[in-house]
Structure 1
Amino acid sequence: MRVLGVDPGLTRCGVGVVEGVAGRPLAMLGVGVVRTPADAETGQRLVAIEQGIDAWLDEHRPELVAVERVFAQHNVRTVMGTAQASAVAMLCASRRGIPVALHTPSEVKAAITGSGRADKTQVGAMVTRLLRLDAPPKPADAADALALAICHIWRAPALNRLQQAQAAARPSRIPTTASVRKVTR
């Protein structure tokens, strides 16, 4: 499975591509940051993020895009920018028919380090170790994007089994021939 991880941000949007399957060594195919100038208008910044993510999608052709789920923070302005960048990433993937998965920061930290409260240094160190890199990717947004991709690759088999079990447990909502009453006038 090839996954593009996106750590959304209006100034720095981390992107990283990881390939592999759960239980096997993973390979980093690319890592970077889509940057926008802080003094540019929000619309221009979102277009720049869209162009950057589209370029990553063109180059790496991921099967899935994993995006960090936006969570509430005290700084509303930061949350809004993060949410807008997140929406752009989801739009770029969805426009191409690429599935999108959302993971919370604590889910990613727990998957990568074993603790949902790990700090950025711990996440960077584990990403470096898991992908057999010489040094942690810089800035931290890039390492976080790789962590998102790794998290999804590791969690995907369990999530798929859970979705299948939930679907099997729900009664079908599509009427069958036997359950449709014939209406005559």
Structure 2
Amino acid sequence: MRVLGVDPGLTRCGVGVVDGGAGKPPRLVHVDVVRTPADHDIAVRLLQVAEEVEAMMDTYKPDVVAVERVFSQQNVRTVMGTAQAAGVVALAAARRHIPVAWHTPSEVKAAVSGNGSADKAQVTTMVTRLLRLDTRPKPADAADALALAICHLWRSPMQAKLAALTPTAPRRRTAPPAPAVRVAR
């Protein structure tokens, strides 16, 4: 399986591509950080993020895109930019019929380090070890994107098994829609 992990952001958007599967160690395919100037219009910055991530999707052809689920932070402006960047990434994947998986920061940290509250240095150290890299991915956004991809590689088989075992809830019957009422003018 090939996973494109995305650590969304407007100023720095980490993107990492990792291959792996059952019984196979994760392998780095590509890592990059999309950077946009903070003084540019938000629409232009989102377009740049979308275009660069789309180019990576088209080049590396991932089976799935793993995106960090946005959590509230102290700075509302940062949250908005992060959510908007995540949205354009999800849209780009949907246009290519690539499934999108969302993982929380604590899920990612727990998957790669065994500690859901690990700091960035611990995550970077584990990503470096797991991918058998000679140097640490920099900046942290690059390491976080790779951690997202690794997290998805490891969590998706169990999630699929759980989904197969979980019975689907019966569909609720809903009342038919009310007839349309036309108003004479």
Match for residue 5 of structure 1?
A: 5
In structure 2, the residue corresponding to 1:93 is in which secondary structure? helix
Query: Deviations 1:22-77 (Å, cap 9, x if unpaired)?
Result: 44211100001011111000000000000010111011000000000000111100
For normalisation by structure 2, the TM-score amounts to: 0.90
| Counterpart residue number, 2:132 | 132
How many residue pairs get aligned? The number is: 173
CA deviation after TM superposition for structure 1 residue 174, in Å: 10
Give the structure 2 partner of residue 105 of structure 1.
Answer: 105
What is the alpha-carbon distance in structure 2 between the residues aligned to residue 164 and residue 75 of structure 1?
A: 39
* Shift in CA distance, 64/48, structure 1 to aligned 2, threshold 3 Å: same
Cα distance in 1, alignment partners of residues 14 and 77 from structure 2 = 19
Amino acid of the residue matched to residue 87 of structure 2? A
Matched, 1:52 2:52: yes
Deviation of the 1:130 alpha carbon: 0.3
Q: Which runs of 4+ in 1 moved over 6 A?
A: none
Unaligned runs of 5+ in 2: 174-185
CA-CA distance at 1:170 after TM superposition: 3.1
Amino acid at match of 2:103: H
Could you tell me how far apart the structure 1 residues matched to 2:165 and 2:78 are?
38
Q: Give yes or no for the alignment of 1:170 onto 2:169.
A: yes
Residue identity matched to 2:120: K
Query: Equivalent residue for 1:116?
Result: 116
Deviates more, 1:14-23 or 1:129-138: 14-23
Q: 1:39, 1:11 → 2: CA distance?
A: 10
The one-letter code sitting in structure 1 at the alignment partner of 2:25 is P
Q: If the length of structure 1 is used for normalisation, what is the TM-score?
A: 0.90
Instruction: Output the CA distance in 1 between the equivalents of 2:113 and 2:132.
Output: 15
Aligned to 2:27: 27
1:99 deviates by 0.1
Name the structure 2 match of 1:76: 76
Question: Which amino acid in 1 is paired with 2:80?
Answer: M
Whole-Å separation in 1 of the counterparts to 2:36 and 2:71: 22
Give the structure 2 partner of residue 64 of structure 1. Answer: 64
In 2, the alpha carbon distance for the partners of 1:79 and 1:53 equals 20
How big is each residue's C-alpha offset from its partner over 1:130-172, in whole Å with a ceiling of 9 and x where there is no partner? 0000011011000000000000000001100111222x3534x
Structure 1 unaligned residues grouped into runs of 5+? 176-185
How far, CA to CA, are the matches of 2:165 and 2:76 in structure 1? 38
Once residues 9 and 146 of structure 2 are traced to their aligned partners in structure 1, the CA distance between those partners, rounded to angstroms, is: 15
1:25 aligned counterpart, secondary structure:
strand
CA distance in 1 between counterparts of 2:147 and 2:4 reads: 10
Q: SS at 2:21's partner residue?
A: coil
